[in-house]
Homo-oligomer: A and B are copies of this chain.
Amino acid sequence: MTTLAIVGAGVMGAAMCLPARDRGHEVRLIGTHLDCEIIENMRATGLHPKLQVVLPEGVGSYHHGAMGEALRGTDLIILGVSSLGVNWAIDRLCEHLTKPIPVVMLTKGMYPETNTLTALPDHVAREVERRTGMTLEIAAVGGPCIAAELAVRRHTGTVIAARKLDLAQRLGALFETAYYHPRASADLVGVEACAAFKNFFAIAVGWAGDNHNAAAIIFVQAISEMMAIIRALGGSDAAVLGMAGVGDLYVTSLAGRNSRLGNYLGQGLTYRQAISGPMRGETIEGADLGIAAAGTLREMMLQGKLAASALPLTRALLAALTGDRTLDLPWADFHRQE
């Protein structure tokens, strides 16, 4: 049995309580400052109000103010805050950790730097090390995991990535159940980059709307361009062909905000028109990534780290997101040979 703390009581953090408790671990779910209502609810009734699921018996729920107490004696931290909450989480880790314990990130993201994009887990580990001197073992969970499905114990597959395969395997072994199927990867960068870019490319697949023939062309082109980008960032083809890549692109293309934005672009709206109209106020991760990473990606192309000719779809999508023009797909520039 392991004692683990899940930081962030949103749907994804809460859903992880299922395999964790079903494997008999002691689970402490810690809300952020934005999760107070959720924690209150759970303490009163056990029901997670966003998942609409009663979490398993024995999940402890803690307000953020009790984090010190909740982290005492834990062997493992699972970070399930939103991307925006990462800096808050880093502050809390630095404040409360007295010895290095492994951190598994459900939170995803790629930080744009001038010449490359850095995976969020590396950013977190670097910051904690800089501020506390502690080197954390860090891992990340990728792959198509709809929280509401996991929360009712439907078959769910993820990939747990860490720089050391051994750590990824040990973590997977902690959570594997008859319905939760984690696999291991030593390609932390590849898995994280796929987790980010699948959202970006799902926008493009969404462009096709109910035109299946067109969706398939874009899907194939997206896999190829994702491979080129992930390679340039130091990741592997196996990540792209795995759960965080093609597996999650499949699911994300079928449903969700990214593909819905694509639908609107396919109807001729510009990005600005979509987000100030039918999608006002919604977070569209793939678009946020594209806008944040556009400069870096273009710089990588200019420096020859990425072949511009291999990325017609990426370039069209970046142009639409950053230039506020309609998304015109350059069909003739897509693969002409297999």
The answer, among B155, B238, B329, for a CB contact under 8 Å with A214, is B155
Chain A, 297-338, contact with B by CB distance < 8 Å: what is the 0/1 string?
A: 000000000000000000000000000000001011011111
Say yes or no: is A29 at the interface (Cβ < 8 Å to chain B): no
Count of A interface residues, CB-CB < 8 Å: 54
Partner-binding segment picked from A90-98, A113-121, A127-135, A241-249: A241-249
Say yes or no: is A187 at the interface (Cβ < 8 Å to chain B): yes
Asked whether B212 lies within 8 Å of A146 as measured between CB atoms, the reply is: yes
A157 partner residues in chain B, CB cutoff 8 A: 213-214, 216-217, 220, 334
In the complex, A241→B216 CA distance in Å? 11
In the complex, A241→B238 CA distance in Å? 13
Asked whether A146 lies within 8 Å of B243 as measured between CB atoms, the reply is: no
Interface centre among A154, A159, A178, A185 (most CB of B within 10 A): A154
Say yes or no: is A254 at the interface (Cβ < 8 Å to chain B): yes
A336 partner residues in chain B, CB cutoff 8 A: 172, 183-184
In the complex, A156→B178 CA distance in Å? 41
Given the contacts A155-B331, A241-B224, A216 and B247 also touching, CB distance less than 8 Å: yes
Q: Which residues does A use to contact B, with CB under 8 Å?
A: 143-146, 149-150, 154-157, 159, 165, 169, 172, 178, 181, 183-185, 187, 191, 208, 211-217, 219-220, 223-224, 238-239, 241-243, 246-248, 250-251, 253-255, 329, 331-332, 334-338
20 more contacts with CB within 8 A, not counting A156-B213, A157-B216, are A144-B212, A149-B213, A155-B211, A155-B213, A157-B213, A181-B332, A183-B335, A183-B336, A183-B337, A183-B338, A212-B251, A212-B255, A213-B251, A215-B250, A220-B241, A220-B246, A223-B241, A242-B335, A243-B338, A250-B253
